[in-house]
Structure 1
Amino acid sequence: MQLNSYLMFDGNCEAAFKLYEQCLGGKITMMMTHKEAPSADNVSLEWHDKIMHACLELKDRLLMGSDCPPGYFEPPQGFYVQVSVPDPDEAERIFYALAENGKVKMAIAQTFWSARFGMLIDQFGTPWMVNCEQVV
């Protein structure tokens, strides 16, 4: 079994996934608009350029997402997407890239359980935890 996250966006999925690809070092392997889908005739013209499905490969994990149809988007709550990296400098780089134009909930710093840990909500409304475990 593999557990992956699927994120829903309010019309800005493409921009979010381009940022995630850049700062997480993954590769977007799929970015399908509603216009490219077989169901394009059933979608309003204003919605044709919105993302029906996106997939970002991050080594052996996937981050997926799409734009919610109008009127269906709900802001995320009750979870965080957690990123764990082995290097404190890399943790800080990712944290600050995701935090740009977003909201820091807990500044990235050394904690009793990690070399670096921080929490934020990015500019697209996605909550993130960035962690760098301590080397024992």
Structure 2
Amino acid sequence: MDWKTTMYKLNNGSKETLKNLAKEKGIVLFFYPHANTTFCTLEAKEFEKNLELIESKGYAVVGASRDLISDQQDFVDNCKLTFPLISDTEEILHKGLMVLDQDNDDAAIRSSFILDKELNVKKEMRNVEAVEHIKELIASL
């Protein structure tokens, strides 16, 4: 399957393509290993804190992990997130953007991407610190 055209399951139970989630200039897409864990919570809250700034630059924020929809919705509720989370249980998006660590039992690699409106990768940041990389990411928008 092509990661760019797949309909992904969101935390609220709906399905959308990445293109439909994009704003005028594109998407800031971040991958995290597990919902409701310490560093993933810090990262998600930092994106929420910077959401208005990111959106003002024409980008949507979307998070993704391999967690179940119910776990994603719990994460949204616990962190008071207002952006969508993708439940990529089939790993289509994870494999498409190569964020699985084959040397570590296919663990998800904390990564962030800036995708343009056509879903081309403008910037990729892999194996990042949960919070520290977000300023650099925003500066690249």
- TM (norm. structure 2) is 0.27
Larger Rg: 1
Q: Which has the higher contact order (CA 8 A, sep 6+)?
A: 2
Larger proportion of helix: 2
- TM (norm. structure 1) is 0.28
